[in-house]
Structure 1
Protein backbone atom coordinates (compact mmCIF):
# COMPACT_ATOMS: atom_id res chain seq x y z
CA UNK A 1 0.00 0.00 0.00
CA UNK A 2 2.79 2.42 0.87
CA UNK A 3 4.46 1.88 -2.50
CA UNK A 4 1.16 2.33 -4.31
CA UNK A 5 0.47 5.59 -2.48
CA UNK A 6 4.04 6.79 -3.10
CA UNK A 7 3.55 6.16 -6.83
CA UNK A 8 0.86 8.86 -6.83
CA UNK A 9 3.66 11.43 -7.03
CA UNK A 10 4.47 10.17 -10.54
CA UNK A 11 2.87 11.38 -13.77
CA UNK A 12 1.48 7.94 -14.65
CA UNK A 13 0.84 4.63 -12.94
CA UNK A 14 3.51 1.94 -12.96
CA UNK A 15 3.69 0.00 -16.22
CA UNK A 16 1.96 -3.35 -16.01
CA UNK A 17 -0.41 -2.31 -13.23
CA UNK A 18 -3.68 -4.23 -13.55
CA UNK A 19 -6.58 -2.19 -14.89
CA UNK A 20 -8.62 -1.96 -11.64
CA UNK A 21 -5.60 -0.65 -9.73
CA UNK A 22 -4.67 1.71 -12.57
CA UNK A 23 -8.21 3.10 -12.48
CA UNK A 24 -7.98 3.63 -8.72
CA UNK A 25 -4.58 5.28 -9.24
CA UNK A 26 -6.10 7.78 -11.69
CA UNK A 27 -9.07 8.32 -9.37
CA UNK A 28 -6.69 9.24 -6.55
CA UNK A 29 -5.01 11.72 -8.89
CA UNK A 30 -8.38 13.38 -9.52
CA UNK A 31 -8.71 12.19 -13.11
CA UNK A 32 -12.18 10.62 -12.92
CA UNK A 33 -12.55 10.39 -16.70
CA UNK A 34 -9.35 8.38 -17.21
CA UNK A 35 -10.25 6.13 -14.27
CA UNK A 36 -13.75 5.58 -15.65
CA UNK A 37 -12.46 4.81 -19.15
CA UNK A 38 -10.16 2.12 -17.76
CA UNK A 39 -12.82 0.58 -15.52
CA UNK A 40 -15.55 0.48 -18.14
CA UNK A 41 -13.26 -1.09 -20.76
CA UNK A 42 -12.77 -4.21 -18.60
CA UNK A 43 -15.15 -7.09 -18.02
CA UNK A 44 -14.08 -8.39 -14.62
CA UNK A 45 -15.64 -8.33 -11.17
CA UNK A 46 -12.76 -6.19 -9.87
CA UNK A 47 -13.28 -3.62 -12.63
CA UNK A 48 -17.02 -3.60 -11.94
CA UNK A 49 -16.21 -2.90 -8.27
CA UNK A 50 -13.99 0.03 -9.25
CA UNK A 51 -16.65 1.19 -11.72
CA UNK A 52 -19.17 1.21 -8.85
CA UNK A 53 -16.82 3.27 -6.69
CA UNK A 54 -16.31 5.78 -9.50
CA UNK A 55 -20.04 6.30 -9.93
CA UNK A 56 -20.30 6.75 -6.19
CA UNK A 57 -17.60 9.44 -6.44
CA UNK A 58 -19.64 11.02 -9.22
CA UNK A 59 -22.73 11.03 -7.01
CA UNK A 60 -24.72 8.62 -9.20
CA UNK A 61 -25.99 6.18 -6.58
CA UNK A 62 -28.28 4.26 -8.93
CA UNK A 63 -25.51 3.57 -11.43
CA UNK A 64 -23.11 2.73 -8.60
CA UNK A 65 -25.65 0.23 -7.26
CA UNK A 66 -25.82 -1.50 -10.62
CA UNK A 67 -22.04 -1.90 -10.73
CA UNK A 68 -21.83 -3.11 -7.12
CA UNK A 69 -24.31 -5.84 -8.10
CA UNK A 70 -22.23 -6.72 -11.15
CA UNK A 71 -19.17 -7.00 -8.91
CA UNK A 72 -21.01 -9.12 -6.34
CA UNK A 73 -20.19 -6.55 -3.65
CA UNK A 74 -22.41 -4.77 -1.13
CA UNK A 75 -23.06 -1.10 -1.76
CA UNK A 76 -20.50 0.89 0.19
CA UNK A 77 -21.81 3.34 2.75
CA UNK A 78 -18.64 4.63 4.42
CA UNK A 79 -16.43 7.45 3.26
CA UNK A 80 -15.01 7.45 -0.23
CA UNK A 81 -11.50 7.57 1.22
CA UNK A 82 -12.13 4.47 3.33
CA UNK A 83 -13.58 2.62 0.37
CA UNK A 84 -10.62 3.56 -1.86
CA UNK A 85 -8.18 2.29 0.78
CA UNK A 86 -10.12 -0.95 1.24
CA UNK A 87 -10.27 -1.55 -2.50
CA UNK A 88 -6.58 -0.87 -3.11
CA UNK A 89 -5.64 -3.09 -0.18
CA UNK A 90 -7.88 -5.93 -1.41
CA UNK A 91 -6.64 -5.66 -4.99
CA UNK A 92 -3.00 -5.52 -3.95
CA UNK A 93 -3.56 -8.48 -1.65
CA UNK A 94 -5.06 -10.59 -4.41
CA UNK A 95 -1.91 -10.51 -6.50
CA UNK A 96 -3.01 -7.78 -8.87
CA UNK A 97 0.01 -5.56 -8.39
Structure 2
Protein backbone atom coordinates (compact mmCIF):
# COMPACT_ATOMS: atom_id res chain seq x y z
CA UNK A 1 0.00 0.00 0.00
CA UNK A 2 1.39 3.39 -0.98
CA UNK A 3 1.07 6.00 1.75
CA UNK A 4 2.58 9.49 2.06
CA UNK A 5 5.00 8.21 4.73
CA UNK A 6 6.22 5.45 2.45
CA UNK A 7 6.73 7.95 -0.37
CA UNK A 8 8.90 10.05 1.95
CA UNK A 9 10.84 6.92 2.95
CA UNK A 10 11.45 6.08 -0.71
CA UNK A 11 12.60 9.63 -1.45
CA UNK A 12 15.01 9.54 1.52
CA UNK A 13 16.54 6.33 0.21
CA UNK A 14 16.64 7.36 -3.46
CA UNK A 15 18.08 10.87 -3.03
CA UNK A 16 21.71 9.77 -2.43
CA UNK A 17 21.62 7.46 -5.46
CA UNK A 18 20.28 10.15 -7.75
CA UNK A 19 22.74 12.72 -6.40
CA UNK A 20 25.73 10.46 -6.96
CA UNK A 21 24.66 9.00 -10.31
CA UNK A 22 24.02 12.45 -11.82
CA UNK A 23 27.75 13.10 -12.25
CA UNK A 24 27.25 16.01 -14.64
CA UNK A 25 25.82 18.07 -11.79
CA UNK A 26 29.03 17.97 -9.76
CA UNK A 27 31.81 17.24 -12.29
CA UNK A 28 33.51 20.61 -11.88
CA UNK A 29 36.28 22.25 -9.89
CA UNK A 30 34.59 25.42 -8.64
CA UNK A 31 33.57 26.31 -5.99
CA UNK A 32 36.66 25.28 -4.07
CA UNK A 33 36.15 24.73 -0.33
CA UNK A 34 39.27 25.00 1.89
CA UNK A 35 41.38 24.07 -1.13
CA UNK A 36 39.28 21.00 -2.05
CA UNK A 37 37.65 21.01 -5.51
CA UNK A 38 33.86 20.83 -5.63
CA UNK A 39 33.94 17.34 -7.20
CA UNK A 40 35.48 15.87 -4.04
CA UNK A 41 33.83 17.83 -1.25
CA UNK A 42 30.37 17.37 -2.80
CA UNK A 43 30.78 13.58 -2.70
CA UNK A 44 32.13 13.68 0.85
CA UNK A 45 29.19 15.85 1.90
CA UNK A 46 26.84 13.08 0.79
CA UNK A 47 28.39 10.57 3.22
CA UNK A 48 26.81 12.09 6.37
CA UNK A 49 23.74 13.20 4.40
CA UNK A 50 23.16 9.63 3.24
CA UNK A 51 23.53 8.34 6.78
CA UNK A 52 21.06 10.94 8.08
CA UNK A 53 18.54 10.16 5.34
CA UNK A 54 18.85 6.42 5.98
CA UNK A 55 18.27 6.91 9.72
CA UNK A 56 15.28 9.14 8.94
CA UNK A 57 13.83 6.50 6.61
CA UNK A 58 14.35 3.80 9.25
CA UNK A 59 12.67 5.84 11.99
CA UNK A 60 9.74 6.64 9.69
CA UNK A 61 9.43 2.94 8.79
CA UNK A 62 9.39 1.95 12.47
CA UNK A 63 6.74 4.58 13.23
CA UNK A 64 4.65 3.44 10.27
CA UNK A 65 4.83 -0.22 11.37
CA UNK A 66 3.93 0.65 14.99
CA UNK A 67 0.94 2.63 13.73
CA UNK A 68 -0.23 -0.26 11.56
CA UNK A 69 0.14 -2.80 14.38
CA UNK A 70 -1.77 -0.54 16.77
CA UNK A 71 -4.50 0.04 14.18
CA UNK A 72 -4.90 -3.69 13.44
CA UNK A 73 -7.99 -5.19 15.08
CA UNK A 74 -7.22 -7.25 18.20
CA UNK A 75 -9.39 -10.11 16.98
CA UNK A 76 -7.33 -10.65 13.82
CA UNK A 77 -5.22 -13.31 15.53
CA UNK A 78 -1.93 -11.77 14.39
CA UNK A 79 0.77 -10.91 16.87
CA UNK A 80 2.80 -7.69 16.51
CA UNK A 81 5.82 -9.72 15.34
CA UNK A 82 3.88 -10.93 12.32
CA UNK A 83 3.40 -14.52 13.48
CA UNK A 84 0.21 -16.26 14.53
CA UNK A 85 -0.85 -15.90 18.15
CA UNK A 86 -1.17 -18.96 20.30
The TM-score, its normalising length taken from structure 2, stands at 0.30
Query: Whose relative contact order is higher, 1 or 2, with alpha carbons under 8 Å and at least 6 apart?
Result: 2
Larger radius of gyration: 2
The TM-score, its normalising length taken from structure 1, stands at 0.28
